[in-house]
Amino acid sequence: MGKNSNDKILNVVELETIESLAKIVSDNELSEITVSCENCNITIKGRKPAPQTVVAGMGVSASAPVQAAEVKAESAKEVGAAVEGNVVKSPIVGTFYQAPSPDKPPFVKVGDKVKKGDVIMIIESMKLMNEVQSEFDGTVEKILVSDGQPVEFDQPIMIIK
């Protein structure tokens, strides 16, 4: 590609976004992630080749090691079988945050009562803060991940009874 082509891509996708994608690939040990925009496709490859998995409805495809995916699936089954209540799962790949900012109190703590529609966490993905609302009424029984921890799509995060 010539200089003009690269300039156009950088105008469409900022360098920070590319760096964020590279960090997601690295932190989650993905083999590859592809993002398609209007006028460009960006593929960032990690170190581990694996079969491709498509995240439905997000315009993003990612590859993860099969062994890790199988282990996570078993963990999710164990969580679902080991607890009673409703399991809240991550709607996207990103970073879990319990509070709107470091100086604010968490949205919910273990023992708090929540109603359907209450904001219970934030998942940061590609520098966007995505508020996650409860799909259930009940009491927060357990929070399964730590604040600031990377999470996978469909990973169990919280139990609401």
Q: Using one digit for the tens of pLDDT, what is the confidence trace for 85-106? A: 889 999 999 999 999 998 999 9
Q: Using one digit for the tens of pLDDT, what is the confidence trace for 21-50? A: 778 877 777 777 777 766 677 777 776 544
Residue environment code for 49-88, b if the CB has 16+ CB neighbours within 10 A, otherwise e:
ebeeeeeeeeebebbbbeeeeeebeeebeebeeeeebbbb
User: CA–CA separation, 60 vs 66, rounded Å?
Assistant: 18
Residue 159's pLDDT band, with cuts at 50, 70 and 90, is: very high
Three-class SS state of 75: helix
Q: Is the pLDDT score of 59 beyond 60?
A: no
pLDDT at 69: 42
4: enclosing H helix or E strand? helix 3-12
pLDDT at 66: 41
Q: Average per-residue pLDDT in the chain?
A: 75
Question: What is the arithmetic mean of pLDDT over 66-83?
Answer: 46
Amino acid (one-letter) located at 93? V
Q: What is the pTM of this model?
A: 0.51
Angstrom CA distances, 56 to 61, 80, 145, stand at: 8, 22, 24
pLDDT at 4: 52
pLDDT at 115: 95
